[in-house]
Chains A and B, each alone.
Chain A
């Protein structure tokens, strides 16, 4: 497998995730009063950090 082969798709997806990180709370979750916003920010970060670290350690990005 060619090292860092997923770098470009990963970078594009990262930009999408970061954009969602800003857009979703101000568009979809603006009126939510429960734990939705807390969970959205926490889980988005946790999931993307996990994916990033897995790809990094396996030399795919």
Chain B
């Protein structure tokens, strides 16, 4: 057994043991109803609420995908990730408090239930559950594939990675639902940020000096080679293709929408937005700096060129001390688990609330039922990861595009909740969802998910076209009744 594998195994045992203890202790908060299980009975304090929001939002993509994207495309990756953060915090500040208040007043537990209630339509709830399944399960599968690939590269085995990831996702969810997810998210969020900080400090104070260069020289070469400018990769249509689906993340992704409900009071909500803003900003800057430093070292001939985007971080980590490398590898696992369990819990909430509880099915233990749905979704994702189906993993690239039709439908209803229950509004919302989702999925089937993501028509990426079509359709539903209303 290599030093790295030994250090990783010990670090993994420590991470799993402490996380499991935290999840087990969270049971003391008590779970008696689906409201307790899925949204903590609206009782989360600001620290847990903000950390679960951050850890859920920032997946393994950050430490693996974004580092690689920065390495290959330069500082445009910073613009892409900060655009997400900027718009998200604006949405959280302007719309979040209203959503928080409505959730308590109307008793929302799942995001599909929210839309179903806002539009007074069960059909909308069912369509949304369908969109979540198609969009989110591939995303969870991709997280599992990423973790399994790391296990494989360390010599621990691909299947072992899937087993560890799915076992953690399952156990840390079923122990106490949102309580165990939020508490372990806080723990994992701290781990993720600490690992990013450790990596950047190690690069700045160890790797760069020991390579016989300075940060100034690295920055000079990055500037000279154009990596601090808009590179050819970041042509405007590409920047739009990346940012448009992501800037609406806070309104479209169910695992973060549900996190608008969970705060115990408005003071807690506000403090959690502040902490999330700080977390997101620091984490993004740290991760992008890692990618830039790696590229600078490559340009100076001090770090071999890495040809695959997702291999940049593992190659960089391989130069570090095994204990530090293991700490960072486990942070990637933590980022994947904290995202996956939140998604599975939220998708399960849609099943339990919209398809079972709201249909008046009784005589079933909510706790057992919820745990069964969580287990089935976890097993399904693990099985897909085990099969390594290319299309399913690729489809995760399109997750945010597939969810995009939810943006205008959701935001319009948040802004005008007293109008959204009208017959025309309801019909337009349903049409938006069906047209938008089938357009995205149709493109994915014909062009393939990866090509769909970057394909542009008249300078506009597919995501922009979907957003325009669904926005016009949704808006028409709100405007037409006002135009045809008889004057009294």
Contact = CB atoms under 8 A, between A and B. Distances in A.
Contacts of B228: 32-35, 37-38
B78 A42 contact: yes
Interface residues on B, range: 20 to 34
A34 B223 contact: yes
A22 B223 CA distance: 21
Interface in A1-38: 7, 10-11, 14, 17-18, 21-22, 25-26, 29-35, 37-38
Contacts of A30: 229-230
- Which of B83, B90, B219, B226 has the most chain A CB atoms closer than 10 A to its own CB? B90
B93 interface: yes
Question: What's the dominant secondary structure at chain B's contact region?
Answer: helix
A42 B77 CA distance: 12
Interface in B213-228: 219, 223-224, 226, 228
B324 interface: no
Interface in B221-255: 223-224, 226, 228-230, 236, 239, 243, 247
Given A26-B236, A34-B223, A49-B89, A57 B274 contact: yes
A22 B464 CA distance: 15
Interface string B57-86: 000000000000000000100110011011
B270 A57 contact: yes
B79 A41 contact: yes
A25 B74 CA distance: 14
Interface of A: 7, 10-11, 14, 17-18, 21-22, 25-26, 29-35, 37-38, 41-42, 44-46, 48-49, 52-53, 55-57, 61
5 contacts: A33-B226, A34-B223, A49-B281, A52-B90, A56-B270
A33 B285 CA distance: 19
B93 A56 contact: yes
A14 B75 CA distance: 23
A24 to B, nearest CB: 10
Contacts of A25: 79, 230
A31 B230 CA distance: 8
Interface in B72-122: 75, 78-79, 82-83, 85-87, 89-90, 93-94
B277 interface: yes
Contacts of A18: 83, 86-87, 90, 247
B85 A49 contact: yes
